[in-house]
Amino acid sequence: MSSAGTSTTTSVLHGSEAPRRLEHAPLPPTLPRARGSALLALATAGAAGLGFGYDARLAALAFAALVVAAVMLLRLEWAALLVVTTAVFEDYLSVVTPWATKGVAVVLIGSWVVRRGWRPLHRGERSPVLVVAGGFTLVLLASAVLHNNGAAGADVVLRYAGFLAVLAVLVDTMRAGLPPQVVARAYVASCALASCFAVAEFWTGDDRRAGGPIGDPNDFAFFLLAAIPLALVLRGSARRRWVYDVAAGLLVVTTALTLSRGALVGAVAMVVVGAVLRLIPLRTIAVGLVAAGTLAAVVAGTVPDLVSTSLERKSVVAEQNVDERLDLWQAATSMTRENPVLGMGPGSFSLYHQDYMDRLPRDISHDLDVAHNTYLEVSSELGFVGLATWFVLLATGALSAWVGAKRRGDALAGAVLLALVGLAVASAFVTEQYVLPIWLVLALAATLQRPPPSTATVLR
């Protein structure tokens, strides 16, 4: 039996049957792909060689950027987190290239297109937030077609389009499996890190308002305002709660150092709404107020000269800022009255608002191309139809978060609701439809409308 087995084996490996089997074996299907890959590798190597020979440093940066872009195109979740975490560092990234943050958003959208082209991400129902966002897009396009404002109008349309696309992609990605808790943690971590840079610059620099990676302290405060309730609720499920306690304290202190009145009013609104809706226990509010007061006293006692100088500089320009904003609001109101339905078109405020002002600003070098009021700027450019759609979008996001918080007992949804309230109130003092926080919070609200339940109280 052994000899038979040996004979059989010998005949298979060395006998006459072996050539016949090789003749009938199919050709490897990977040969054309191998040739294509080899040609692509050769072309890439040649291009890299030329690039490094021309400018090694620039070629290295370009190669690294291409590698990162390729990886992000294949990993949608990573691309989404990259958009969330880099937005607050916009001014720092602009030193590398002015298109850095826009490029990251393009990579996210490209990754989403690649993934959706392969297969649907999920089979869930369309979110009401996205339905209203689609309506806002139609109003935007209708106003742009009716009023051609040239390059300024095209720039505003593209900015809106970018954030609307990011909103849709974030919702789709989170509903497909990227946990909203991970997104919230990434956002809080990036804002806490940005706060460290802001405090360092405030301590050592000439600017006595904390701006950090965002040039405008009001815009920076808008980012931090959304992160505060998220940080407080994430501590409940964290292994090391003290990390989120430190992060929340840092966010509160840095927000105060921005000296943003809009952020202050928004924070008060969050506390009031949280107490009225019983999303925040009264004990937590009391502890928070005591902690905030203690931190303020420590900072004021540690660097009294620095704090007093900041407050003095703020008081000097406060009257001028109030007068300028009142003039801007009056101009936006007049523009809305003149074109009440669809406004004067995207980009019209920066082009024409001076024609509706009774007086020039005190400092003519001061850039006043925004209304410092999101709602009035939207109404002046998109009319009452656009303003109503914007309100419906915010209300739909708030309702979605409310459903997740109260009906499903999701703590993170309650924090998102409070963040949306704070941002909506602060938007009455700043123009913030062109930065990420409001769109990110809307995406979280849309996603958390139908998650599994967790806890009943938002902040504990």
Q: Where are the domains of the chain?
A: 128-447
Query: Residues 71-108: pLDDT tens digits?
Result: 656 688 888 999 999 999 988 888 877 788 888 888 88
Residues 6+ apart with CB under 8 A from 172: 112, 116, 121, 122
Residue type, 382: L
Q: Which residues of 354-376 are buried (b: 16+ CB within 10 A; e: fewer)?
A: eebeeeebeeeeeebebbbbbbb
- Structure tokens given for 212: 């950090």
User: Does the structure show a pLDDT above 90 at 272?
Assistant: yes
Give the whole-angstrom CA distance, residue 245 versus residue 232: 7
Give the whole-angstrom CA distance, residue 450 versus residue 156: 33
Size of the chain in residues: 460
Residue type, 35: R
Residues 6+ apart with CB under 8 A from 144: 153, 157, 345, 346
Give the whole-angstrom CA distance, residue 157 versus residue 151: 10
Q: How confident is the model at residue 65 (pLDDT cuts 50, 70, 90)?
A: low
Q: Are 191 and 86 in contact (CB under 8 A)?
A: no
pLDDT of the residue at 95: 80
What's 371's DSSP letter? -
Give the whole-angstrom CA distance, residue 204 versus residue 202: 6
* Helix ranges (DSSP H) in 75-146: 76-86, 90-96, 100-118, 128-146
Reference 90, options 436, 456, 443; nearest CA is: 436
Token match 């390059």: residue?
Answer: 151
Taking CA 6 as the corner, what is the angle to CA 5 and CA 7, rounded to the nearest 5 degrees?
90
* Helix ranges (DSSP H) in 277-410: 282-302, 304-338, 348-352, 374-402
Token match 């390729």: residue?
Answer: 70
Give the whole-angstrom CA distance, residue 89 versus residue 253: 19
Give the whole-angstrom CA distance, residue 312 versus residue 299: 16
CB neighbours of residue 313 within 10 Å: 14
Residues 6+ apart with CB under 8 A from 204: none
Taking CA 254 as the corner, what is the angle to CA 271 and CA 312, rounded to the nearest 5 degrees?
100
Tell me the pTM: 0.80
Q: What is the mean pLDDT of the chain?
A: 79
Query: How much is the average pLDDT of 131-159?
Result: 95
Query: Residues 372-403: pLDDT tens digits?
Result: 899 999 999 999 999 999 999 999 999 999 99
Query: Residues 188-243: pLDDT tens digits?
Result: 999 999 999 988 887 776 666 777 788 788 899 999 999 999 999 998 888 888 89
Q: Are 415 and 232 in contact (CB under 8 A)?
A: yes
